[in-house]
Structure 1
Amino acid sequence: MELRHRALEVLCLSDPEEKAAAAIDLHTRKALYSIAEQAPALPLPETGLPGRPARPELRHHTAVARRSPATPEGRAVLMHAIAHIEFNAINLALDAVWRFGGMPAQYYHDWLQVAAEEAKHFRLLRDHLRTHLGHDYGDFPAHQGLWTMCEKTAGDIVARMALVPRTLEARGLDATPQIQHKLRNVATPDALAAVAILDIILREEVGHVAIGNHWYRWLCERNGLEPESHYQELTARYEAPRLKPPFNERARRAAGFTEAELAWLQQV
């Protein structure tokens, strides 16, 4: 059995629960798999990568509704949006495994760990939608901003590590405490249960961003690149979203951002 081949198979799965379960199983049994140098060639879904369910309907991010978490429907929309981010994050981690060759075994094992933990997060959020809010994943429209950057960086592993985990996913480190604050103010049982789920997600997302930081710097050293200046070049080249304060500096430091990087964020 070959690990990158299996990661691509899981990436192609369209059923969310099947994909989440398969991602967790692949991480659990990773030691049983060999790791090939060449990326596997498999028939891809007619809709392309990643495999995804018919719902949710995908729209441009400006066309996705935002509602106040003060209402049950607004909290359902919010938690659905986060669940969609976590579902996409499973795909992002699996794509990092199958697409890029010639990396140390630990790279592939790290991203399988990320995929498994994102699958756990997705399941927690989906269960919350079902049990507390009377909805399910797919009930509201969603957007594909994370996957769009994944496609743009498909040919450059350095850009992928720079702009997906340590840029787009790191935004979650900044946003989560603000979301939790709003939910605590609502203080209903479902809102407080959501805060507890977000505690788990935030703690583990720090580790995911740290993995992105580690491999970005590893690649920069291998390729003779200066990490901080090259990062700024990549954000311009790939038109990465402009990050706005407030920043969760404590979480970002824990994830491996340097003081110089934090100072640069405040200036852009």
Structure 2
Amino acid sequence: MHTVAEACRAVLLAGDPYAKVRLARTVARAWRRGGLTHVFNVAMPERPARPPRPELLPPSRMPKRGKGGSERGRIAMLHALAHIEFGAIDLAFDAAGRFGAEFPRGFVDDWIGVGADEAIHFALLDRRLKSLGSSYGALPAHDGLWEAAEQTAGDSLARLAVVPMILEARGLDVTPATVERLERVGDHRSAAILWRIYHDEIRHVGAGTRWFKTACESRGFEPISHWKRLTKTYFRGVLKPPFNDSARDEAGLSRDFYAGLAGARDV
């Protein structure tokens, strides 16, 4: 691997979770130290490699997890979060390798850094699952995150609008209540992991929002109205309140973007 695109592609093609984590962190170090050139000479794969487990099911067939009060419920919740973080490694490196040529070098700095963070998050959650007698792959999961990546593969602004500014921002809304429930049942170790992830995700949403605004302005789009146009085209879900306005605002994602859209499928 000599170029940043080759390195990003290698991360995406690492199917084994632990190999992906190691490679993500190795690539991030190499990039920080100047060991990779800012060259985009290879294409990103249509799909990343995946391990044989977990079994991937349609979202409609996923079993209900509950609120995490019982140990079984907490394992299911932590497994779902580990799967999100595993997919987020690929999302970050795909963004860097697929869209990096469109942006200044700082774009690659940010998304490789995000990918390294997601690798750490996954490792922390998997370690916690093992301490509870489980592990990543023990339960089914769904592929919704990568479906969002496929739908936005041809438009960098659509990718930023949907992935960090909607899907990752949702984590800012739900994590504080999840941490509170874990603390209430005495699972302080899991709560501490989620609290660390929460604070990192504010930075990640902030990176996505900042690059979205910068790119819109450089291309002659008004950011808020263009975000609404893109989400209407590319996001088929529902924006679910309540919103964590303070965390979103810290990330630069003001209420002007999403106010009035709560519960609306056609945003």
Report TM bin, short chain. over 0.9
- 1:59-104 deviations in Å (ceiling 9; x for gaps): 1112111233122111111100000000000010011011122321
Partner of 1:32: 35
Ranges in structure 2 where 5+ consecutive residues have no aligned partner? none
Partner of 1:122: 122
- 1:4-42 deviations in Å (ceiling 9; x for gaps): 111111111001011011111111120221111x45047
Q: Kindly tell me: are residues 267 and 138 of structure 1, through their superposed partners in 2, closer, same or farther at Cα, counting changes over 3 Å? A: closer
Q: Please report the RMSD computed on the Cα atoms of aligned residues, expressed in angstroms.
A: 1.5
Ranges in structure 1 where 5+ consecutive residues have no aligned partner? none
Paired AA for residue 159 in structure 1: A
Could you tell me how far apart the structure 1 residues matched to 2:254 and 2:30 are? 34
Partner of 1:238: 234
Paired residues of 1:66 and 1:74 also in contact (CA < 8 A)? no
Paired residues of 2:3 and 2:37 also in contact (CA < 8 A)? yes
Paired residue total: 259
Could you tell me how far apart the structure 1 residues matched to 2:176 and 2:96 are? 30
Paired AA for residue 146 in structure 2: W
Partner of 2:24: 23
Give the percent of matched residue pairs that are identical in Structure 1 and Structure 2: 41
Alignment of 1:176-191 (within 5 A): 176-187=175-186, 191=187
Could you tell me how far apart the structure 1 residues matched to 2:255 and 2:263 are? 13
Paired AA for residue 183 in structure 2: R
Paired AA for residue 238 in structure 1: Y
Partner of 2:65: 67
Paired residues of 2:5 and 2:43 also in contact (CA < 8 A)? no
TM (norm. structure 2) is: 0.93
- Establish whether residue 217 from structure 1 lines up as the match of residue 213 from structure 2: yes
Q: Kindly tell me: are residues 94 and 253 of structure 1, through their superposed partners in 2, closer, same or farther at Cα, counting changes over 3 Å? A: same
Could you tell me how far apart the structure 1 residues matched to 2:236 and 2:105 are? 29
TM (norm. structure 1) is: 0.92
Moved more, 15-24 or 58-67: 58-67
Q: Kindly tell me: are residues 55 and 258 of structure 1, through their superposed partners in 2, closer, same or farther at Cα, counting changes over 3 Å? A: same
